[in-house]
A and B are shown apart, each in its own frame.
Chain A
């Protein structure tokens, strides 16, 4: 282990630049010592080292404590390239589910008010929110309307009555990246996405009713409107088939681009092009379309959730206090300004299974969160807990204002299924006091809590490394899944 990871401090480990030939910067992994074995076994550190070879990469190839083996960049990976110095952009640094992300909705309901209605609520949510593999929603869009979604994102959803201006303010990038160009998206992508807006999807995507169990920072919690025993709702979903197809299409473009620009890479999934090149510009403009689609999607899922609560509690969602706390993307490239060796640079920051964690005072934050720092939503597995944190100056100094995105898998889906043969997971969860309703029993077996790292340990590392501050812990009460 000592050969791969060099200790910087208790929560920060370095893969030196000479670990592999071709590395332009070192790898930095935020983790505690007991996690390193698992990381090495998974070979995720190799992917950190591979990403360090990307042209134009600055500072380091970073990985968060929820790191695990992905493709191209590991999950939990953060890299930034200097776009003014031939820095590249890579779809492999974003992933197929462009702008997969999470949002947290708070309520004024307490556990006492919800406990008895929980099964009714879960039933209602399951009937209202389309879930599952390739599920179709009630909204089928014309090509023209799809292009509007791609350009406007959450703004489109709000204009159509699926949300409010406050929802937009509390969404990363206000739910819309302006450089989206819908003409750079293929017919195939439109076809794949046209009936998937307002659907949850399958795999690790979920909608969860939670209760705030613990508050770690009373001041920040108050500012975010969180209190003990409060009911919250977390939504995890992405850009569905629309985003997957955009990534697929542009990987093919990048395969050609690496030959054109003479870029050599250790892994074809890292195929890339200079950000300023035609290929780079086309990808980022198409990626923005998928990101916008994902924000519109989570906004519509929010609308459906509010409807389900209104039906069960026979009160308007505003009266139930169902306001958005925040929405974060965790698979995306953002153009951001960061200081490198004292100089401000414009960077293409790739976060793949990592969340933005901007500090207090950052101009991109909404007024109400200028003082707290950006709220960060960290989902755990369906049995343990989820967390809310806030961004810090240290995250900005150390890792381009980034932190972890969740628990991170430790068991493959295959292993999880093997381990759960013959088990009824929904029943097991019910014994733990958590109601689960899923479109597929096999998805539930893949998503068992033990398939994930303990999210508490992950957020502890992030907190102690100073990348984010712990604010609140939520425990799951009811979950719907694909």
Chain B
């Protein structure tokens, strides 16, 4: 489905739509990648697989985003795509595709410190899910 940027005074906010919960996490991760890098030059030569847990759907979503932020900052990776599969009610498996960050090749856009829980909710409407997330930058 997709996402759009929303106003947040000192930070970056996004609104995300998706057709399933797994897809919602994927789209939110895509938004994070889009906000962090210019994705035009990013190739999918490597991948990471991580499992994340949460106490509920919101916690799981925010935890997934923070896991990707950790990998970007600590492992110095650039990601372009994410595939999410549910393991159980409170656990998902995420595969992140991208490549090691190369300052000559890649352009960073924003340094995102974390995804916040601030006023985060997940809304279900017909066959669509919607969420709002504020990132600290």
Contacts and interface: CB of A to CB of B under 8 A. Distances in A.
Interface of A: 42, 44, 68-72, 75, 92, 95-97, 132-134, 188, 191-192, 201-203, 241, 244-245, 247-248, 251-252, 255-256, 259, 267-269, 271, 409-415, 440, 442, 482
Given A69-B9, A203-B137, A248 B118 contact: no
Interface residues on B, range: 20 to 34
A68 B120 CA distance: 19
Contacts of B129: none
Contacts of B137: 203, 413
Contacts of A410: 9
A409 B136 CA distance: 14
A267 B109 CA distance: 29
Nearest to A188: B70
Contact of A71 (B5, B11, B109, B110): B11
A264 B74 CA distance: 34
A268 B58 contact: yes
Most buried by A among B12, B73, B101, B111: B111
Interface string B100-118: 0100000011110110111
Contact of B113 (A75, A244, A255, A411): A244
Nearest to A192: B74
B59 A269 contact: no
B118 A269 contact: yes
A68 B7 CA distance: 13
The CB with the most chain B CB atoms within 10 A, among A71, A192, A256, A411, is that of A71
B103 to A, nearest CB: 9
B1 interface: no
B116 A71 contact: yes
Nearest to A353: B10
29 contacts: A70-B10, A71-B117, A71-B118, A96-B136, A132-B108, A132-B111, A133-B108, A133-B110, A134-B72, A134-B101, A188-B74, A192-B73, A202-B110, A202-B111, A241-B113, A251-B117, A252-B63, A259-B55, A267-B117, A268-B117, A268-B118, A269-B118, A409-B10, A412-B8, A412-B9, A412-B10, A413-B10, A415-B7, A482-B111
Interface of B: 5, 7-12, 55, 58-59, 63, 66, 69-70, 72-74, 76, 101, 108-111, 113-114, 116-120, 134, 136-137
A332 to B, nearest CB: 16
Contacts of B76: 134
Given A203-B137, A244-B73, A245-B73, 16 more contacts: A70-B10, A70-B11, A70-B118, A71-B118, A71-B136, A97-B113, A134-B108, A203-B111, A244-B69, A245-B70, A245-B74, A248-B69, A248-B70, A269-B119, A409-B10, A410-B9
B111 A71 contact: no
Closest 8 CB pairs of A and B: A71-B118, A268-B117, A133-B111, A269-B118, A244-B113, A71-B116, A133-B108, A69-B9
Contacts of B72: 134
A251 B59 CA distance: 10
B63 to A, nearest CB: 7
A415 B11 CA distance: 11
B73 A134 contact: yes
A186 to B, nearest CB: 10
Nearest to A190: B74
A198 to B, nearest CB: 16
B135 to A, nearest CB: 9
Of residues B10, B55, B58, B134, which shows the largest number of chain A Cβ atoms within 10 Å of its Cβ? B10
A72 B11 CA distance: 13
Contact of B10 (A68, A202, A255): A68
A38 B108 CA distance: 32
A188 B71 CA distance: 9
A74 B63 CA distance: 22
A269 B74 contact: no
Contacts of A95: 136
Contact of A412 (B7, B73, B109, B110): B7
A414 B110 contact: no
